[in-house]
Structure 1
Amino acid sequence: MLCALIMAGGKGERFWPLSTDEKPKQFLKLLGEETMIQMTVKRLLPLIPIERIFVVTAAKYVDLLKEQVKDLPVENIIVEPIGRNTAPCIALSAFHISRIYSDASIVVLPSDHLVVESDRFIETIEYGYKFIQNHIEGIVTLGMKPDRTETGYGYIQFNSQFVVKNDSDICESEAAVTRDGDKCGLCLYKVERFVEKPDEDTAKEYIQKGNFLWNGGMFIWKCSTVIKLTKAYLNNTYSILKDIFASPDKDFANKLNEKYPYVDNISVDYGIMEKAKNIYVIPSDFGWDDIGTWYAIERYRDKDDNNNVCVGDTKNLSASNNIVVAKDKPIVVVGLDDVFVVESDDIIFVGKKKDINRIKEIKRNVSK
């Protein structure tokens, strides 16, 4: 039984001032007429029905979620009382989903990523799920084939000499490296390690080596495996969650609010993936991007003849290479290059594009 778990509790601070604590980027229409969470749910539906799609989020975003994904069953909304990073978030969700579907496998994915080729995305998930059905203690991650030197992503290093076929054990063969013979042309490799965001020289080295992929933060594994590995490597989190889920239904919410803040505050990469043994990666090519900063909007939004991204009622006169986002009022940019201008409910922000990666720092300074 394959279910989906969408993580939708982040604050999206790098998209400030449009993304706010009250309405973060997963609930915004950044790339078109649908919000990021709506796009994420929609691309899953050809494979996973809405009754098996779960969303974990913060209590303050539940109403937004219900408004934007109207068909989502209320029991499929998993509420974190407090954000404690991805490892406890996924473990909490695995406990929850296991109570509804006792033998569930889950594909875990963020709510705010772009996928260009939805059919290929579905095909890749199906391929990974088939592997998990045959290797029940395994973990499959989707690694994105890099097409540029990127310092904003983590990377996955894989062993190119060990390719795995869905219906067999690990094969060590030069001939098997490029393709495992499956009609879809997909294959799995043994993961050697997860590495943090590199500097530019290191990123270039990774690209040249050819056995590094971008870490898209997407995993396919059984709920039982999530729980087992949480017990092994994050025993404090496991013990707290086990105690919470042993509570009677009438006491569950109070127990969750009381105990959950004491789970480990750690990412799934640090807490589990760097320690687990049976991790495999599918090199994936479905047109993925982490819509993490305003640079991503520049990559995918239409541009005018002077390379300006214009959203809303905007005009660029003798201006080029700008990102201009208007909400309620017209914005006119004259004689400026390489700037971004963003209007939100509370503020109009003007800055040089070179400072986009400093958005979180700038937000903190403005908020003082």
Structure 2
Amino acid sequence: MLHAIIMAGGSGTRFWPRSRRDRPKQLLRLHGDATMLQQTVARLHPLVAPERIVVVTGADQAAATREQLPELPAGNVVAEPCPRDTAACVGLAAWIVRKRDPQGTMVVTPADHVIAPDSAFRDTLKAGLSVVDADPTALVTFGIRPTRPETGYGYIERGELIETIDGIPVNRVVQFREKPDRQTAEEFLASGRFAWNSGLFLWRAGTILDELERHRPDLASALARVAESLGTPDEAAAIAREYPSLPKAPIDKAVMEKAANVRVLEVRYDWNDVGDWRSLATLLPLDAQGNAIQGDVLAKDTRNSIVISDDGGLIATLGLDDVVIVQSGKATLVARRGQLDQLKGLVEGLEEKGHGAYL
């Protein structure tokens, strides 16, 4: 049976000041009529029923997550007391699935990606299920065909073509590559062998736990101790007890780069990880001067900018080019578009400067 694991952590830095610690971007309506988290859950229907959807989030966001997803059983929102990267998140979720369904298959998806159309996402997911049903030891990842020499994404190198399922190619994975420099990204694009790493995975719960035991026994043993209490009144206490000492590692490095039977499917849908305000701007309609605008904004002689008024107040601009202005929650960001990579550092320094109330 298919289960869905939604990774919904985050510290609310990339979309500050609209996002905060207690409402990172997946809890916001950045694009569309629902929050990104709600869109992620809706995308899974009807393949995965609500009782088989588990959301792993931070303790600060658990209450808001449950409020946004009333159709999920309350116990299906699992709170991590502290962030320990995706290997711990995936391992904990795999134990939850295995306890409920020993032969269960799990799709792992971030909560904050824009994917369209939903039907194409489900078709690709069905193709991945066919791979795992035929070979339960397979680890499946989903690759995005690159459209530019992007330096902000990880890459997957495709090997031999194994099969094609409903027009979707299934290849062996040669290697995972970290975010490249510009020249390397251009080489990746020109070769035609590389896909962007989407961060979506599919596998049997038992298989990923076996791989964690093989490649990261330190993490696997700690998660096994937590597993003893899952579904009991001691569950939250066990997670709180073990989590702070868990090693931090992404699932890519902990398992995917080391496992032997990894396959990549090329997706057939449009994908955007909405990494920062610039990514959101690609999803918004632009005015005649190339500006992405939300809220009450008067932009005069302003070009190629992102201007967002989130509190109802007017933002008026004059003679600006290539800037980002976001006003939300009694805080205002004004930045050059090209400096948004430094926004995380700015936000993380707010508390030190006496502005912790805006985190």
TM-score, normalising length: structure 2? 0.94
Greater shift after overlay, 119-128 or 260-269? 260-269
Verify the 8 A CA contact 1:341 1:348 in the aligned structure 2: yes
Verify the 8 A CA contact 1:108 1:219 in the aligned structure 2: yes
Verify the 8 A CA contact 2:156 2:197 in the aligned structure 1: yes
Q: Secondary structure at the match of 1:300?
A: coil
- How far apart in 2 are the matches of 1:10 and 1:200? 27
Quick check: 1:292 aligned with 2:275? yes
- How far apart in 2 are the matches of 1:127 and 1:116? 17
Quick check: 1:25 aligned with 2:8? no
Tell me which of 341, 345, 348 is aligned to 1:361: 345
Aligned pair count? 350
- How far apart in 2 are the matches of 1:71 and 1:298? 31
Verify the 8 A CA contact 2:18 2:310 in the aligned structure 1: no
Cα drift, residue 346 of structure 1: 3.4
Q: Could you say which residue in structure 2 is the equivalent of 1:324? A: 307
- How far apart in 1 are the matches of 2:147 and 2:93? 33
- How far apart in 2 are the matches of 1:308 and 1:315? 11
Cα drift, residue 9 of structure 1: 1.2
Quick check: 1:163 aligned with 2:161? yes
- How far apart in 2 are the matches of 1:323 and 1:4? 34
Q: Could you say which residue in structure 1 is the equivalent of 2:356? A: none
Q: Could you say which residue in structure 1 is the equivalent of 2:197? A: 215
- How far apart in 2 are the matches of 1:221 and 1:365? 39
Q: 1:269 is aligned with what amino acid?
A: D
* Percent of matched pairs sharing the same residue: 35
Q: Could you say which residue in structure 1 is the equivalent of 2:58? A: 58
- How far apart in 2 are the matches of 1:313 and 1:37? 26
Cα drift, residue 213 of structure 1: 0.3
Greater shift after overlay, 198-207 or 10-19? 10-19
Q: Could you say which residue in structure 1 is the equivalent of 2:209? A: 227
Tell me which of 243, 248, 258 is aligned to 1:260: 243
Cα drift, residue 210 of structure 1: 0.4
Verify the 8 A CA contact 1:12 1:26 in the aligned structure 2: no
Cα drift, residue 36 of structure 1: 0.7
Q: 1:191 is aligned with what amino acid?
A: V
Q: Could you say which residue in structure 1 is the equivalent of 2:266? A: 283
Q: Could you say which residue in structure 2 is the equivalent of 1:174? A: none
Q: Secondary structure at the match of 2:6?
A: strand
Quick check: 1:190 aligned with 2:188? no
Structure 1's unaligned 5+ residue stretches are: 166-179
Deviations 1:206-256 (A, max 9, x none): 000000000000000000011111111111111111122224823332222
Quick check: 1:308 aligned with 2:314? no
Q: 1:323 is aligned with what amino acid?
A: I
Q: Secondary structure at the match of 1:187?
A: strand
Q: Could you say which residue in structure 2 is the equivalent of 1:338? A: 322
Cα drift, residue 307 of structure 1: 1.0
Q: Secondary structure at the match of 1:15?
A: coil
Q: Could you say which residue in structure 1 is the equivalent of 2:97? A: 97
Cα drift, residue 199 of structure 1: 1.0
Q: 1:52 is aligned with what amino acid?
A: R
Q: Could you say which residue in structure 1 is the equivalent of 2:333? A: 349
Cα drift, residue 16 of structure 1: 1.6
Verify the 8 A CA contact 1:189 1:281 in the aligned structure 2: yes
Q: 1:256 is aligned with what amino acid?
A: I
- How far apart in 2 are the matches of 1:42 and 1:27? 14
Q: Which runs of 4+ in 1 moved over 6 A?
A: none
Deviations 1:86-141 (A, max 9, x none): 00110001101211222110110100001022111110000001110110010110
Q: 2:20 is aligned with what amino acid?
A: T
Cα drift, residue 34 of structure 1: 1.2
Deviations 1:122-179 (A, max 9, x none): 10000001110110010110000011121110000111xx2123xxxxxxxxxxxxxx
Cα drift, residue 366 of structure 1: 4.0
Q: 2:271 is aligned with what amino acid?
A: W
- How far apart in 2 are the matches of 1:24 and 1:258? 25
- How far apart in 2 are the matches of 1:367 and 1:147? 39
Q: Secondary structure at the match of 1:119?
A: helix
The Cα RMSD (Å) is 1.3
- How far apart in 1 are the matches of 2:12 and 2:170? 32
Quick check: 1:13 aligned with 2:13? yes
- How far apart in 1 are the matches of 2:252 and 2:8? 18
- How far apart in 1 are the matches of 2:304 and 2:180? 27
Superposed, which structure 2 residues align to 1:118-157 within 5 Å?
A: 118-157=118-157
Verify the 8 A CA contact 2:62 2:78 in the aligned structure 1: no
Q: Could you say which residue in structure 2 is the equivalent of 1:67? A: 67
Greater shift after overlay, 66-75 or 82-91? 66-75
Q: 1:288 is aligned with what amino acid?
A: W
Verify the 8 A CA contact 2:291 2:304 in the aligned structure 1: yes
Q: Secondary structure at the match of 2:290?
A: coil
Verify the 8 A CA contact 1:234 1:264 in the aligned structure 2: no
Q: 2:299 is aligned with what amino acid?
A: N
Structure 2's unaligned 5+ residue stretches are: 353-359
- How far apart in 1 are the matches of 2:350 and 2:58? 25
Cα drift, residue 308 of structure 1: 0.8
Q: Could you say which residue in structure 2 is the equivalent of 1:46? A: 46
- How far apart in 1 are the matches of 2:341 and 2:229? 44
Verify the 8 A CA contact 1:7 1:108 in the aligned structure 2: yes
